[in-house]
Structure 1
Amino acid sequence: MSEALLKLEGVHTHIGAYHILHGVDLVVPKGELTMLLGRNGAGKTTTLRTIMGLWHASQGRITLAGQDITARQTHEIATSGVAYVPESMGIFSDLSVRENMLLAARGARTLDDIDTTRLEWIFGLFPAMKKFWNHPAGKLSGGQKQMLAVSRAIVEPRQLLLIDEPSKGLAPAIIQNMIAAFRELKAAQTTILLVEQNFNFAKQLGDTVAVMDDGRVVHSGSMAELAADESLQSKLLGLSLGAHQ
């Protein structure tokens, strides 16, 4: 396993009166794609939001590249090279694709400030972004909105991407496009922590996997090993995921 870029040690998160995370231990190796799996309500989204500082850990420690970020504010975590793509995608519907991208490029005041080579690379991953460059983001299809959400996250180099269910509700052809894009990101040594329910998506992309249940990580290891072991899938997730393509 590669060295850890992100580590969670005994992380607890409370939201109001609710105790959601109960001592999460998680290691995300540098340059790899880690899948975060689990039943609905297991705490996966809360884990991403806690890492991003949108909710603060009430106990435990979160480190990024050896630096303690547990108490940092969201904007501080973002400026340290972390991008978050929520399940809701978080795009600005009234703005154009171009304007959404410019807002996400923190170091750019105008389009001329965005790295042209990187922008062309993104267009290669998601050709629809170039095609609909001047269209309102709210007019895009669901799959195109997801492409825009990921494109915004990678418009500048990031050391870590946090992505929540990128294939949810997408057509199979769009899912394959997304898989190809994430493979390119992996090839570029981008570190990714990805929540996903589509097991076929997960097994094609994941290097490592962590499975959550009731606010804890109950299994971690190789994605390939979990994909090959239907009895373990059933034990951890209550069904044979191999049958759910």
Structure 2
Amino acid sequence: MSSLLSLQGVHTHIGAYHILHGVDLEVPAGELTMLLGRNGAGKTTTLRTIMGLWPASKGRIDFDGRAIGGAGVKASTPDIACSGIAYVPESMGIFADLTVRENLLLAARGARSIEQIDTQRLDWLFTMFPAIKKFWLYPAGKLSGGQKQMLAIARALVEPRRLLLIDEPSKGLAPAMVRNMVAALRELKATQTTVLLVEQNFMVARELGDGVAVMDNGSVVHAGRMAELAQDDEMQQRLLGLSLASHQ
């Protein structure tokens, strides 16, 4: 399949620290690609570099055939977002003092009022994330951790996006909320939305991933199909230091 997002030899420095060491990554259009690796491997830095929050010092990042990052490329984070990429950080980044409704409205750049947001799209979000509708007028800060994560993803999808970057959506959630999150992301997959998902929960990775890239020490050390990795205990041990079977 053709790649919607492509990273070629991407390096990222943060101050005196050299974090990414020549990352090569392909994200096929219409698929959910898992980005796995041990803590500190460079996964979050990769997402932030794609968004231009930390500029790549070397290499190239292409989105739909156009350079959006890399040496000599000046695309800003707002420009990258406007090209059709949404980012859900690990911190979720919701506005705690605003209501759920107000959080979604802020993310809808083309709307000045909630009435200007496409009704069918809101109904679609309510179907995927029922808590969003239930707590529509609640301050977002009073939601549970799982509900906040649902809001963060719904906010990224309130307008059509071509690519969604999500950083560890199941982190810190109770098992029941993880199941709800997986169900919602499965619904999202059915829409052919292209997703790059960082995850530490390997059951989530196995259930959702089409493709997979594994990072170690700031570079991609393996890329392939998630189903193949899920069936190969030796490869899991070698690349990740543990087995998916131990998370059943």
The runs of at least 4 aligned residues of structure 1 exceeding 2 Å deviation read none
**Residue 177 of structure 1: CA displacement?**
1.3
Count of residues in correspondence between the two structures: 244
Q: Which residue of 1 aligns with 2:16?
A: 17
SS state at 2:158 partner: coil
Percent of aligned positions with the same letter in both sequences? 73
Q: Which residue of 2 aligns with 1:141?
A: 144
User: For residues 24-173 of structure 1, what are the structure 2 equivalents within 5 Å?
Assistant: 24-70=23-69, 71=73, 72-173=75-176
> Separation in 1 of the partners of 2:105 and 2:245?
40
Q: Which residue of 2 aligns with 1:202?
A: 205
> Separation in 2 of the partners of 1:184 and 1:244?
23
SS state at 1:197 partner: coil
Report the AA paired with residue 96 of structure 1.
Answer: T
Task: Verify: 1:185 aligned to 2:184, yes or no.
Answer: no
**Residue 23 of structure 1: CA displacement?**
0.1
Q: Which residue of 2 aligns with 1:221?
A: 224
Contact 1:35 1:202 in 2 (8 A): yes
SS state at 2:137 partner: coil
TM-score scaled by structure 1? 0.98
Contact 1:199 1:242 in 2 (8 A): no
**Residue 180 of structure 1: CA displacement?**
1.3
**Residue 173 of structure 1: CA displacement?**
1.5
Contact 1:160 1:192 in 2 (8 A): yes
**Residue 203 of structure 1: CA displacement?**
0.4
Q: Give unmatched runs, 5+ long, in structure 2.
A: none
Report the AA paired with residue 114 of structure 1.
Answer: I
1:135-162 C-alpha deviation (Å, 9 max, x unpaired): 0000001010000000001111100000
SS state at 2:106 partner: helix
Report the AA paired with residue 236 of structure 1.
Answer: L
1:43-71 C-alpha deviation (Å, 9 max, x unpaired): 00000000001000000000000000013
> Separation in 1 of the partners of 2:244 and 2:93?
29
Report the AA paired with residue 24 of structure 2.
Answer: D
Report the AA paired with residue 223 of structure 1.
Answer: M
**Residue 212 of structure 1: CA displacement?**
0.1
**Residue 83 of structure 1: CA displacement?**
0.3
Q: Give unmatched runs, 5+ long, in structure 1.
A: none
1:97-155 C-alpha deviation (Å, 9 max, x unpaired): 00000001111111011011110111111111001000000000101000000000111
Q: Which residue of 2 aligns with 1:244?
A: 247
SS state at 1:12 partner: strand
SS state at 1:91 partner: coil
> Separation in 2 of the partners of 1:216 and 1:242?
25
Q: Which residue of 1 aligns with 2:214?
A: 211
> Separation in 2 of the partners of 1:241 and 1:215?
22
Range with greater deviation from structure 2 (199-208 or 234-243): 234-243
